[in-house]
Amino acid sequence: MGHPVLGQRAEQITDVTDPELRRLVEDMVMTMIDANGAGLAAPQVHEPIRLVIFQAPISRADPGLSEAEAYDHTASLTVLINPEIEILSDEKEGGWEGCLSVPGLRGWVERPAHIRYRGLGLDGKPIERVAKGFHARVVQHECDHLDGILYPQRMTDLTKLIFESETKHWLEQNA
């Protein structure tokens, strides 16, 4: 948080066949896995381009979500180039979010619960999916990075911005 590239709008990718793009994706996947993240956007590794990677396994979902809400098999490891999001419902869903660019903190963020996203895969082929629950949250969180937005900017109640080490205590007290 604070690096200038994280506060700016990322540029469209014009050449999906660029070998450097493939190298960047490989590095981003390794970084995401090493950091135990659910997603990563190119601006987080100081590349101001419209590229995100994500995965939404049930093990990463908020406690209390049903399996159907938490996991969608289409949310396996995904590379999405020049993503676009369409909100499909006015319904919002709140959840705890963390971020590799805001280490050590968690915040309660309400986001649209049902979206469609589209973009290109690393092979240049179109990807279009409908997402709900944790899958939708991860996609929106990562795509926010492409517009220079970090999750605390989406929060409406900063009393729900807490240290990760206090999450268990906060949940117990507010259950």
In this prediction, the residues of the chain whose per-residue pLDDT falls under 50 are: 63-74
Number of domains in the chain: 1
Residue 160 lies in a domain: no
In the chain, helix, strand, coil percent, each to 5? 35, 30, 30
Residue 173 lies in a domain: no
Which two three-digit tokens encode residue 155? 């929060």
Residues taking part in catalysis: 142
Residues 113, 80: Cα–Cα separation, whole Å: 20
Look up the domain containing 139 and give its range. 4-95+110-149
φ, ψ at 65 (rounded to 5°): -75, 145
Model pLDDT, residue 174: 75
Residue 175 lies in a domain: no
Residue 105 lies in a domain: no
Residue 167 lies in a domain: no
Model pLDDT, residue 48: 98
- Residue matched to tokens 């996947």: 29
List of residues 6+ apart from 115 with CB closer than 8 A: 85, 86, 87, 88, 130, 131, 132, 136, 139, 140
Sign of the CA dihedral with 127 first, then 114, 85, and 136 last? negative
Residue 158 lies in a domain: no
**Number of Cβ atoms within 10 Å of the Cβ of 156:** 9
- The pTM of the full predicted model, rounded to 2 decimals, is 0.88
Provide the greatest CA pair distance for the chain: 51
Indicate which CATH number applies to the domain containing 81: 3.90.45.10
Residues 94, 97: Cα–Cα separation, whole Å: 9
Residues 98, 77: Cα–Cα separation, whole Å: 19
Residue 31 lies in a domain: yes
Residue 154 lies in a domain: no
